[in-house]
Amino acid sequence: MLFGENRSDMREVFFSAWEKFHRGDHLEPAEQLVVDVLHRHPEYHRVVGDRDKADKDWTPEMGETNPFLHMGMHIALAEQVGMDRPAGIRQAYEKLAAGMGETHAAEHEMMECLGRTLWDAQQAGGQPDEAGYLECLQRLAQEKGGRVDD
């Protein structure tokens, strides 16, 4: 498991990768992915730069996005697209990114589908519905996407 089994372990992956990057140490592929996501989110540099301030909960009621959840969703999407699992996600991603003209913005759109799918699974006490997730992504790509040649 890339991120561990509890909140502290999951967050440690971000702290460690960021520290290694700043020291100029060799990064493993998973650490490089974390650093790449952090580069696209400079607003979270202060969070991963101070472990003490990062040991808190971020709730919608506070009006803040949980940076670790947000970055984790970017990483999950990168892994899903890289493996094309569920089958068809890569094509939906490419179509959406082409239509939006920017991969990062496309990922933010896709997070809505991912978040809804995870929420529904949690509420039902079951596994995420991959078919429903892919349908959501394909609808999104159809609505906001461009042309992708097969």
Q: 22 pLDDT exceeds 50?
A: yes
Is residue 144 within 8 A of residue 100, CB to CB? The reply is yes
How many Cα atoms occupy the beta-carbon half-sphere of 110 within 13 Å?
29
Torsion of the alpha carbons at 6, 10, 16 and 22, rounded to the nearest 10:
-150
Report percent pLDDT > 90 for the chain.
78
Q: Is pLDDT of 4 > 60?
A: no
Give the percent of the chain with pLDDT over 70.
Answer: 93
What pTM does this model have? 0.89
Query: Above 70 in pLDDT, residue 146?
Result: no
pLDDT digits (tens, 9 = 90+) for 84-127: 999 999 999 999 999 999 999 999 999 999 999 999 999 999 99
